[in-house]
Amino acid sequence: MKPIIRRAGGILGTLRAEYRQLHNRYFGKIERIEGTAQEVCAEIVERLWEGDFYRTSLGHFDFFWMRDFGTVCQSLVTLGNQVRVHHTLRWALYHYRRAGAVTLCIDKAGNTFNAPAKKSVDALPWLLHCLVVSDYWPNAAEQAFLEKQLGKYVKTFLDSDGNLQTMRYAEMRDAVFYDRSAYSIALIARMAHCAKVLKLQGFPYDEQQYQDELLNHYWNGHYFDADRTTKAFSAECALMPFFLNVIDNRDMADRTFDYITKAKLNALYPMQYGEAGREHLFKYRIAMGSKLMPNYTGTSIWTWHGTFYLHILKKYGRPEYHTQYANFASMIERHGNYPELLNADGSWYYAPIYRSDPGMVWAALFLELPESL
């Protein structure tokens, strides 16, 4: 009976999320927060603390996303919020253990679900990443659960040699169907590393295997290709190997930065998801394609990837860091908020069934950064 109840709860959680998305598109208001970019981000991060967990936005994403929290976890700790981060992880692990699975989403009622697909390739990797960067050591029950999840992950996503299988699943660029994205390979590499740090059994493959795969099958001399068959730039695929320190190579990072500047992906604000004229190379989900959500992950400007970009610029001491930081700060102050995404001209993104969400938890990534190197 319990599995049926949990399944029903997951369906209800998904339906509620979709309802809020549509409601906010036509009836939701975008609040303007006065202050500097740093003050705006600080207020957003503070308001997103729910007492039990960090919600994902001040808009329709008013619940927990493992992926989003994973990307900001280290920043939150650096900003002095380790206690809240640990509380969030205990809360998430409690609901994951009750559900018997690690999912992308947990709503306020504790319902767990994945979106927009039934399987998530990155929820478990981001969870282990959070445990490591926040110095959270699982208790015996949590460790046993995580080891079981690692075993399930291997059986679900990998072949007998540890290679990612071709299948459809949820990942960061959720509008498209990838053929084994560079983002996914980077996350599996990070998971292999974190499992070893946490002394977890259940994942028999080494991080080096996935590093080699990125270098041998994805690097094109300028950036990491989107996936095994799509020879095109996609921001999360180009940046995530560097952001997670899966690949730490200055020459490759410099080549990527130079390409971003040459292609003008950082011309207004950092940064555009992809290049104009290359959208046709990707296969889109029907509900997130050109009719219902046009240019959602095309030449639109994604603030998430903008902060990944800024962090990597900082890491390698690139001279354009100061200008790109200032441009990003001006974007926040222009809107008095931290938007999910913008149109290529910097205006707020609207589509027939979607509106860019305000007050993203990603603000923590920006808040951690210095104004200059």
For tokens 């994403």, name the residue: 61
Confidence of residue 339 (pLDDT cuts 50, 70, 90): very high
> Residue 170 and residue 47: Cα distance in Å, rounded?
28
> Residue 121 and residue 170: Cα distance in Å, rounded?
6
The lowest-confidence range among 7-21, 81-95, 167-181, 243-257 is 7-21
Confidence of residue 14 (pLDDT cuts 50, 70, 90): confident
Strand ranges, E, within the chain: 64-65, 105-106, 112-113, 176-177, 283-284, 301-302, 341-342, 350-351, 354-355
pLDDT(69) > 60:
yes
> Residue 357 and residue 372: Cα distance in Å, rounded?
28
> Residue 154 and residue 165: Cα distance in Å, rounded?
10
pLDDT(246) > 70:
yes
CA atoms within 13 A on the CB side of 271: 29
**Predicted local confidence at residue 10, as pLDDT:** 63
Closest CA to 214 of 185, 237, 176, 255: 185
Cis peptide before 138 (omega within 30 of 0): no
Cis peptide before 271 (omega within 30 of 0): yes
> Residue 300 and residue 354: Cα distance in Å, rounded?
14
Residue 285 DSSP class: P
Residue type, 169: Y
Query: DSSP string spanning 10-38?
Result: HHHHHHHHHHHHHHHHHT-------S-HH
User: For the stretch 230-261, what's the b/e string if a residue is b when 16 or more beta carbons lie within 10 angstroms of its beta carbon?
Assistant: bebbbbbbbbbbbbbebbeeeebbebbbebbe
- Residue 141's H or E segment, with its range, is helix 140-157
CATH 1.50.10.10 fits 2-367, yes or no: yes
Indicate the SS3 state at residue 88. Answer: helix
**Predicted local confidence at residue 18, as pLDDT:** 83
Q: Are 108 and 61 in contact (CB under 8 A)?
A: no
Residues 149-208: tens digit of each pLDDT? 999 999 999 999 999 999 999 999 999 999 999 999 999 999 999 999 999 999 999 999
Residues 100-115: tens digit of each pLDDT? 999 999 999 999 999 9
> Residue 69 and residue 4: Cα distance in Å, rounded?
28
Strand partners, 49: 54
Mean pLDDT value across residues 217-238: 97
Q: Is the pTM of this model over 0.85?
A: yes
**Predicted local confidence at residue 15, as pLDDT:** 77
